[in-house]
Structure 1
């Protein structure tokens, strides 16, 4: 079962977004890459989906695949080792910051918080700019409580879900890596997607990063993008 801290973090995150401008769409078209990730999910997990004309439409096909995945989770889903990377890639390449949850949640329940968050941190540190932005969107859901009791990893016991992990170190590493990325990476999607989950109070970081927190606020306040300017003011006031 999930630890209280993970469930509390999810609730805080959902409350924090109220009153904010909607996250704008990507500045780059990742449609074809997402379609490939969807195909991988269908094939690797053996989902029961009909192959028809919507398979070339990322929006509609995404809904079909997510729906099939939800149904498989309800029926009882055993995820192979290969399924982990496939689900994480789909979550990262899904441009919708709400629907990507449906790829993150089964991975969390089968493989645990630590593995999911480590994978997203790796995308943030070493991925392409599109992957860094996608990892930041997916990270939002990485604190969800483990409620899919019928989802488990292949080889785990029949009870399914992994033990809750101590994620304090990973969360700290994510925040520090995200802060560095926000300041150093000028890619618009990366900055837009990192900012909502970025603490902007110096006390959240070691002393050697306090100057970077100030730099991040200055960058966001003077940024030409309206979403970034709007978002930072809310976050600074609530820091």
Structure 2
């Protein structure tokens, strides 16, 4: 997710792209774990790529996996629990917030918006800090429109086409969980990744959470991280 894409996360009104700092890279190195996620994905989906990377060409293997998934398209993916789990795990652990869309989008088309968002909500609530941050980054792409005519969510998994196209599905639940996580979790990556999509106006929440919105703004404004301090001022003044 680059600065211009990031500007609309969780917001309904336009902002000025140049006003936003780019979301910083993660503080930890998760590349080895992401390779494991890609290997699981190759096996679960049946991509025509070696199931393990060449130790001397890991970057090239990553690119080939991404290309193979893109070429397969949603109609070439199995509607299995293993495929769904592998797609979501790769989306959450992808270190690049621009490329994690490659895993979220086919999952949306095959499994439906509700199931994808439910999985990310579970990562936010019960995952490691690395997974919570990754879930917040991946959530951004779950509002993508379902353009493909062969969406199978209604046929295979009991979710109607109307439900799958509803971009408001689980949004309120996510926002409330994300607000609570932002306030209670001091991990830098978690707070950096949650903040761009976090509504910071009380009317977005039930009355019992209004005070928590004030607390979140106070935390962000006094935070030692420049990105968080910069970001919150734009969000509360927009």
Using the size of structure 1 for normalisation, the TM-score is 0.85
d(CA) in 1 for partners of 2:9 and 2:184?
Answer: 28
- 2:51 maps to 1:53: no
- 2:113 maps to 1:113: yes
* Cα 1:177–1:91 shift into 2, 3 Å: same
Q: Would you say the 8 A contact 2:11–2:197 is kept in 1? A: no
* Cα 1:13–1:87 shift into 2, 3 Å: farther
Q: Which residue of 1 is the match for residue 68 of structure 2?
A: 68
Q: Which residue of 1 is the match for residue 4 of structure 2?
A: none
* CA RMSD in angstroms, aligned pairs only: 2.8
d(CA) in 1 for partners of 2:37 and 2:212?
Answer: 35
Cα offset for 1:14?
Answer: 10
SS of the aligned residue for 2:78 comes to strand
Deviations 1:134-172 (A, max 9, x none): 00000000111112345647x739xxx951325646111
Unpaired runs of at least 5, structure 1: 1-8
d(CA) in 2 for partners of 1:233 and 1:127?
Answer: 29
* Cα 1:55–1:139 shift into 2, 3 Å: farther
- 2:87 maps to 1:87: yes
Q: Which residue of 1 is the match for residue 17 of structure 2?
A: 18
Cα offset for 1:30?
Answer: 0.9
Deviations 1:177-216 (A, max 9, x none): 0000001100000000000000000110011111111111
d(CA) in 1 for partners of 2:145 and 2:215?
Answer: 34
* Cα 1:104–1:124 shift into 2, 3 Å: same
- 2:195 maps to 1:189: no
Cα offset for 1:236?
Answer: 0.6
* Cα 1:194–1:17 shift into 2, 3 Å: farther
Deviations 1:105-158 (A, max 9, x none): 1110011111000000000000000000000000000111112345647x739x
Count residues with an aligned counterpart. Answer: 226
SS of the aligned residue for 1:29 comes to coil
d(CA) in 2 for partners of 1:212 and 1:218?
Answer: 10
Q: Which residue of 1 is the match for residue 171 of structure 2?
A: 171
SS of the aligned residue for 1:98 comes to coil
* Cα 1:119–1:213 shift into 2, 3 Å: same
d(CA) in 1 for partners of 2:44 and 2:187?
Answer: 32
Q: Which residue of 1 is the match for residue 30 of structure 2?
A: 30
d(CA) in 2 for partners of 1:14 and 1:32?
Answer: 38
d(CA) in 1 for partners of 2:170 and 2:185?
Answer: 21
Unpaired runs of at least 5, structure 2: 1-7
d(CA) in 1 for partners of 2:34 and 2:16?
Answer: 26
Moved more, 106-115 or 165-174: 165-174
d(CA) in 2 for partners of 1:236 and 1:134?
Answer: 24
